[in-house]
C-alpha cells in the first residue's frame, strides 16, 4: 500500500500567526484561491510522492545521511510573492530566507540520495517558501496581487532550524491531512 510523503520544516506558532494575518488580508480581495489550512503551513523541502510503506525506513536513513554535519541554523521569514511572478500566479507564498545556505545544501543532498530509492531527481532550483494559497481562477486577481505586493518587505519572524520532519499526506475532500512520521534532528 502506498503513502504520499514529503520532507518538511515546521514553522513556529509565532510565525504561523503572522502568516495567518497575511492570509486573512489576502482573503479580503475575494479572489478564487484555495487557502492552506493554518495547521498545514510549512516549508516543503522535498516532495517524495506516493511511496511503498516499506521504503519509509530507507527514506528516514537518507534524511539522516543528508543532515550529517549540519548544525542548527536560522531562517528569517520575510517577503511575499507568487509562482510564477507576474499577472497569472498559481501559488501565493510567504518567503523564507536562509542566509547560511544550509537549506539549499540539504535539499541537494536529499535530491541526489533519494534517487537510489526511486524518487525522481528534481531539476528545479529550490526556493524556500511557505505556500499560503493556490490561485484557482483570475477572479479579482489585481486586488489580490496588490495585497501580496504590500507584504513584499514584511517580516513574519525568525526561527532556529534543528530538525526536519518526514510527513505523510492524506488527501481528502476537505483538504490534505498531514501526519508526522519521523523527526530527524541535526547532529
- Tell me the pLDDT tens digit for each residue of 36-57: 999 999 999 999 999 999 999 9
Is the predicted pLDDT of residue 187 greater than 80, yes or no?
A: no
Q: Is 90 left (phi over 0), alpha (psi -120 to 50) or beta?
A: alpha
**Residue given cell 498545514 in the structure block:** 40
Burial letters for 94-121: b for 16+ Cβ neighbours within 10 Å, e otherwise? bbbbbeeebbebbbebbbebbeeeebee
Whether 124 is catalytic is: no
pTM, whole model, 2 decimals? 0.94
Whether 129 is catalytic is: yes
42, 113, 124, 163: the catalytic one is 42
21, 64, 113, 129: the catalytic one is 129
Give the separation between CA 164 and CA 59, rounded to whole angstroms: 12
Instruction: Write out pLDDT tens, residues 95-115.
Output: 999 999 999 999 999 999 999
Reply yes or no on domain 2-185 having CATH 3.30.430.20: no
Is the predicted pLDDT of residue 133 greater than 90, yes or no?
A: yes
Is the predicted pLDDT of residue 4 greater than 80, yes or no?
A: yes
Amino acid at each position: 500500500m502506498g503513502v504520499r510523503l514529503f520532507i518538511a520544516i515546521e514553522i513556529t506558532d509565532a510565525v504561523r500567526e503572522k502568516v495567518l494575518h497575511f492570509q486573512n488580508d489576502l482573503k479580503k480581495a475575494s479572489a478564487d484561491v484555495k487557502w492552506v489550512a493554518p495547521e498545514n503551513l510549512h516549508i516543503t523541502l522535498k516532495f517524495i510522492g506516493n511511496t511503498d510503506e516499506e521504503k519509509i525506513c530507507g527514506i528516514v536513513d537518507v534524511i539522516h545521511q543528508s543532515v550529517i554535519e549540519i548544525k542548527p541554523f536560522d531562517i528569517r521569514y520575510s517577503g511575499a510573492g507568487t509562482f510564477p511572478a507576474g499577472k497569472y500566479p498559481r501559488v501565493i507564498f510567504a518567503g523564507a530566507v536562509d542566509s547560511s545556505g544550509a537549506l539549499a545544501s540539504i535539499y541537494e543532498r536529499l535530491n541526489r540520495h533519494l534517487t537510489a530509492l526511486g524518487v525522481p531527481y528534481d531539476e528545479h532550483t529550490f526556493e524556500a517558501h511557505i505556500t499560503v494559497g493556490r490561485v484557482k481562477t483570475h477572479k479579482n486577481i489585481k486586488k489580490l496581487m496588490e495585497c501580496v505586493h504590500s507584504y513584499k518587505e514584511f517580516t513574519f519572524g525568525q526561527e532556529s532550524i534543528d530538525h526536519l520532519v518526514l510527513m505523510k499526506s492524506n488527501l481528502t475532500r476537505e483538504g490534505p491531512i498531514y501526519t508526522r512520521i519521523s523527526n530527524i534532528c541535526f547532529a
